[in-house]
Amino acid sequence: MSSPAAELFSSVRVARLATVTPDGAPHLVPIVFAVVGQVIHTAVDGKPKRHRRLQRLANIEREPRVSVLADHYDDDWDMLWWVRADGLATIVNEPEPALLSRYPQYAETPPPGPFLRIHVTTWTSWSST
């Protein structure tokens, strides 16, 4: 990782992926991820879903620009921070090994995919300190 913002982003276990629906509405889902260089890797995993044709995938096929937000909340507001990664997402069929090794659940049961690679173009961050 090349920036303090990317390192801070990587310190959390879950982030939120924002895509845009065909009618321009935001679509937000929580994700688990791994950062390798300037690329965020995530997967469609095996947790129960209504169907495998997910809105986030349809949104990315139409509009690949996405944002991913990681944050830290604490009742001590001097400890608050967030990092946003803006980038271009692609849908691939192969998992990133760093993603599979980051979460024990994936080591036991690898996600079926597909997988997202988000090539970060901009890291933006804020902290209260």
% helix, strand, coil for the chain, step of 5? 20, 40, 35
Neighbours of 75 (CB within 10 A): 6
Q: What are phi and psi of 61, to 5 degrees?
A: -60, -35
What is the rounded average pLDDT for all residues in the chain?
Answer: 92
Cis peptide before 114 (omega within 30 of 0): yes
Count structural domains, the chain. 1
Average of pLDDT values for 61-74?
96
The CATH number for 85's domain is 2.30.110.10
Q: What are phi and psi of 74, to 5 degrees?
A: -150, 145
1-34 per-position pLDDT tens digit: 468 999 999 999 999 999 999 999 999 999 999 9
Domain residue limits at 15: 4-127
Give the burial class of 27: count Cβ atoms within 10 A of its Cβ; 0-12 exposed, 13-18 middle, 19 or more buried.
Answer: middle
**Of the candidates 82, 83, 84, the residue with the CA atom closest to the CA atom of residue 65:** 84
> Cα dihedral sign for 73, 116, 86, 101?
positive
81-119 per-position pLDDT tens digit: 999 999 999 999 999 999 999 999 998 889 988 999 999
